[in-house]
Amino acid sequence: MAMRSRLLPALSLLLILSISFQPASAQQDPLSLSSDGIRLSAHYFLSIPSYSNIADVKTFGWVGGIIFSYKSSFTFSAVPDDYSNLYAGLIMSEALLHKGFVSLDEGNLSVKIKGIANYFLSRTTRNLWTSEASGYYIDIQFSSNVLLLLAYAQALGIIDAEKEIKNAAYSLVNLQDKSGGWAWQPESYYQRNPDPFTTAYALHALTAVRKLYDINVDNSIVDAITYLEQTASPSGGWLDPVRDSMIASSLVEAEMIGFDVDQSLLSRVAAELKQHITGNPAPTMDNAVVLWGLLRLASAGILDTEDVLSSFSGIAVSIARAVNRDGLPPYGYTPFIWTRCQETYDAVRFFEAWLRSSSITVMVSPLSGFIGNRTVENSTLRLQVLVKNNLQKGISLKLLCDPSDPITGKTSVDIGIQPLSSSSVELQFSTPPKLQQPRDSRIRLTLIDPLTKEFLYTKIIGVEVLRDANI
């Protein structure tokens, strides 16, 4: 795929495998390293030199708010580097979306993001974008990532492009195949067959826009989910662990905003990803993507978050410590700025997921109304949720409580927690006065970052509601 070239020569692979792989206890903790990795990656782009004239750019640099670079020996001067600008914008905007967790130079990062966003807004083709690889034709993967960047910049208040973002989303929907999937270049002759990987790009972009606006793309999202569910193999995957991680993450994104996703499929993908990284524990960028997917699945309640954090903290530490000092973006092993921007983006998404997941510790305790995992009709159920903030700065969270029939008591609670402190919330639920027969139910507890609307933690408590012999 054009958007995901993985060029790792033998020498680079040896370099990866030679990285120190010590136990996490012997090194800095992965929570701090993840925070540092996000900050280092975002602030790297503030260190790139700025020039007044394109002719002054020797290798790469900022000119007029965007990154220029020499693409080849056949160009007489530096040219705008669309891929580097795209990934730089995504890295900086996603970092700012996590400013509640990381201390950042918000002002200067916002200026850089605005320049890149305006550059892409000025270069639309039929409301979307072409790429160097697609030529005249719309590139769905590239367009989806540009739309994602614009949605992030809009959410941060950096740009005002509601009309352009909505038009891009509708144009993306118009290029959706009748199967529910998207092709890489649906207007072309040779690249017009839909595939799960490209569909994941489009689905992720549409869910990001759907978080911003109540626009008419829900049927398109449902069709994309159905396509991905139907094209998965019986074992749960689609292509390979890296791309499967990205596809599963797009499904989790859709679930986060209320769409139904096959939970058994997500469980099978989670098992596949966990098996892969257990058997291949090298600190590579591919494994950073796989770990990102595992953490996304854990945040949706498919896996136990604490189990993922404890099982793979050693790999997380090694990935975070593999920082390059060669003047290119800090993570990855390819020698070109745009591919290193892409690999650093992979690392940043992993760091963000690890930071979100490990920033809090959650304990859920039954107070009354439960007998193990059972209760009876006409009961009041009380739960205590204790949330510990593991960060050096205060955080704000939203707790969503969503019981299924026949248990009632759906609610949401805003929680503010001081640095390295805890907050406790008591929740109350009810069972109906009388049941015709025993019922299986569940109480789903989800902690959300209000700014990004990302899941930090999900716990699903299965409850069997029985008849009360005394009634």
d(CA 185, CA 452): 30
Paired strand residues for 67: 62
Q: Is residue 10 over pLDDT 60?
A: no
Q: Give CA separation, 302 vs 71, 103, 262, in Å.
A: 43, 30, 11
Residue 323: count of CB within 10 angstroms of its CB? 14
Residue 397: count of CB within 10 angstroms of its CB? 21
Tens-place pLDDT, residues 17-47: 333 333 333 347 889 999 999 999 999 999 9
Structure-token pair, residue 238: 């689609």
Find out whether the peptide bond into 406 is cis, omega within 30 degrees of 0. Answer: yes
Tens-place pLDDT, residues 62-102: 999 999 998 665 567 899 999 999 999 999 999 999 998 99
Mean pLDDT of all residues in 104-121: 98
pLDDT, residue 468, reads 79
**Amino acid identity at 182:** W
Tens-place pLDDT, residues 352-395: 999 999 999 999 999 999 999 999 999 999 999 999 999 988 99
**Amino acid identity at 312:** F
One-character DSSP codes across 157-195: TS---HHHHHHHHHHHHHT--TTS-EESSTTSSSS-SEE
d(CA 153, CA 92): 10
Q: Is residue 439 over pLDDT 70?
A: yes
The mean pLDDT value of the chain amounts to: 91
Paired strand residues for 441: 463
Strands 60-63 and 50-51: parallel
In the chain, % of residues over pLDDT 90: 81
Output the pTM of the full model.
0.89
